Structure 1
Amino acid sequence: MNIARSMGGATDVHLTDEGRVAVHQLKNLQKDRAARLRHTMDAFLRWLFAAAGDQAPINPALYLTTPGSFFAGAEISGSELHQAFAHLAQHDIIEIFDTEPGSVAITAEGVSCALSGASVQDHTNQPRPGDSITFNIGYIRVSTDRQVEDGFGLAVQEKTVRTWCRQHGHTLGRAVYRDEGYSGTLPAPERPALADALSEVEDGQAAGIVVGRLDRLARRLVTQEAILAQVWKNNGRVFTADQGEILQDDPEDPMRTALRQMMGVFSELEHSMIVARLRAGRTEKAVQGGYAYGAPPYGWQAVAGELVEQPVEQVGLARARELRAAGASLREICRRLEAERFPPRRSDRWHPEAVRRMLQHETPYTLRPRTT
């Protein structure tokens, strides 16, 4: 807001454009029922822990006199407070007593939640010892050759995965795993994000993996079957947004296996045809004298058909080689590059496999001297 004082001493106050936007956002937030309920549960639990952390019963109406009973400038209603009570009691965070007036007490679970600093929602979503894991993790991928394949890029894939989970009652337990610039023909250990996702299933941290399409897991039949077998071996499940669950083999239904593997064969065929077209295009481009070998490796860029050094990446590349020569492991190089602010090209963090690829060749193929 702007504050101005007139010649007569009167003060004029009016909203700026930014202030009007903020007021509009507050009004919209006031109408967000889910956000209001989350705030009410969190604020009430903090108040209850501060006022009666010894687990003694207390009149919850006292909470309505505190600043926490307001959200985005609007007062929390009695019905919203009772809805929050029901949720908290359901998860054994508070105990409700049928007294006059009514009273509630924080439980040992509620004390644990308050001390953890986590929101009520995050606390109740955590798996407990002996609980069955009910959430899945998402996986998305685009290849090195085509960063956006048939309009099915990373952003579209993630939206597809999240929408399918929401519509079918599945919960994504954490951020979606992303392999950006990795071919679907690569086995799982050579795709960092997929390897991490499979480890979550193996360790019992997730019930399964959700992908937009089966070809996001693999573009080669043998790779597809190996990944599925690894998930199923660890009692995990695989879902695709276009088919639902990919069911395990059933001796009584051999057609199930045949149809799945047929899909893998056609996916592999499609990939081979794409590679053939790209190879033909690169050959023609090379004949014309341009750079024709796909995405330039880290440290290099294609400019006007010529491969030239990328200065910032060259410094990072030199640093990685220096660390490797000193005996650092690939994971240690990842940590050092991130700490020293050398960003990877296609991801938000370095992966050991990406570092291995980067160090694999001293110079790009097209810059090496030809042998006769």
Structure 2
Amino acid sequence: MARRNRRTALSGTAVGYLRVSTAEQADSGAGLDAQRMTIEHECARRGWTLVEVFEDRGVSGKSLDGRPALTEALGAVDDRTAAALVVAKLDRLSRSVHDAAGLLDRAQKSGWTLVASDLGVDTSTSAGEAMANVMATFGQLERRMISQRAKDALAARKAAGVKLGRLRTLPDEFVERVVEMREAGSSFAKIADALTAEDVATAQGGQRWYPSTVRAVLLSQR
């Protein structure tokens, strides 16, 4: 789609951005269709024209890297193809405080508006910017807490004298998650990448997952 010059961009126009991670594809509340509907309703409520919707499938929100649809969406508002970027949930855009802060600054400097409809965030207002920063902080905190719970469970088992092994020390909640992701059609590599990106600790407390590790977890459940 041809980009418009900044001077000819129309107010009341927006682009939408959708994202689902591998772990979330089976969750209808975070699915692409649900996000698209929310974005369409938000634009209609504001009287905005939705110019285009960009989708990233099966990618983490931890980093802005490796998300081609987001790159296109940001390019659209930066060069004034549209005046606003709308997401259904702020964590669809970013779970990193650093990245979220950078996007807020980018929006301000480039003169476009960021809207997250789940929180009523609207960066055209001071209150909206403050809310976006607060929620991005809690999103990053949640990821760190998930990882810390796994590490705490490992430490507790060590203290109790449990013989440690990769399969035996992985908390049940994470074993169940791996099984669900596999049943949803994710490959071993995609599951490993998703868990690594979200800072979920392995059974040994490590930060890096591998396809072989995921496969071993699944085999232990048979």
**In the alignment, does 2:63 pair up with 1:191?**
no
Match for 1:179 among 46, 53, 56? 56
1:318-329 map, 5 Å: none
* C-alpha separation in 1, matches of 2:166 and 2:33: 30
Structure 1 residue 194, shift from structure 2 partner: 0.7
* C-alpha separation in 2, matches of 1:210 and 1:217: 9
Question: 5+ unaligned residues in a row in structure 1: which ranges?
Answer: 1-125, 308-362, 368-372
Instruction: Say if 1:167 and 1:137 are closer, same or farther in 2 by CA, change over 3 A.
Output: same
Instruction: Say if 1:260 and 1:163 are closer, same or farther in 2 by CA, change over 3 A.
Output: closer
Who is 2:89 aligned against? 213
Instruction: Say if 1:241 and 1:130 are closer, same or farther in 2 by CA, change over 3 A.
Output: same
* C-alpha separation in 2, matches of 1:181 and 1:210: 20
* C-alpha separation in 1, matches of 2:6 and 2:79: 13
Who is 1:158 aligned against? 36
1:68-217 map, 5 Å: 130-134=7-11, 135-148=13-26, 151-174=29-52, 176-187=53-64, 189-217=65-93
**Cα contact 1:138–1:209 (8 A) shared by 2:** yes
Match for 2:139 among 267, 270, 273? 267
**Cα contact 2:24–2:31 (8 A) shared by 1:** no
* C-alpha separation in 2, matches of 1:173 and 1:184: 23
Structure 1 residue 144, shift from structure 2 partner: 3.2
Instruction: Say if 1:193 and 1:277 are closer, same or farther in 2 by CA, change over 3 A.
Output: farther
Structure 1 residue 261, shift from structure 2 partner: 2.3
Match for 1:234 among 110, 113, 122? 110
**Cα contact 1:142–1:179 (8 A) shared by 2:** yes
**Cα contact 1:143–1:183 (8 A) shared by 2:** yes
Question: 5+ unaligned residues in a row in structure 2: which ranges?
Answer: 155-163, 190-209, 215-222
* C-alpha separation in 2, matches of 1:258 and 1:162: 24
Larger Rg: 1
Q: What is the Cα-based RMSD across aligned positions, in Å?
A: 3.9
TM-score by length of 2: 0.61
Who is 1:312 aligned against? none
Amino acid at match of 1:267: G
Instruction: Say if 1:197 and 1:128 are closer, same or farther in 2 by CA, change over 3 A.
Output: closer
Structure 1 residue 164, shift from structure 2 partner: 1.3
Amino acid at match of 2:98: V
Aligned residues: percent identity?
31
Q: Which has the higher contact order (CA 8 A, sep 6+)?
A: 2
Structure 1 residue 181, shift from structure 2 partner: 1.5
Instruction: Say if 1:271 and 1:237 are closer, same or farther in 2 by CA, change over 3 A.
Output: same
Structure 1 residue 220, shift from structure 2 partner: 1.8
**In the alignment, does 2:168 pair up with 1:287?**
yes
Structure 1 residue 285, shift from structure 2 partner: 8.4
Who is 1:87 aligned against? none
* C-alpha separation in 2, matches of 1:236 and 1:139: 15
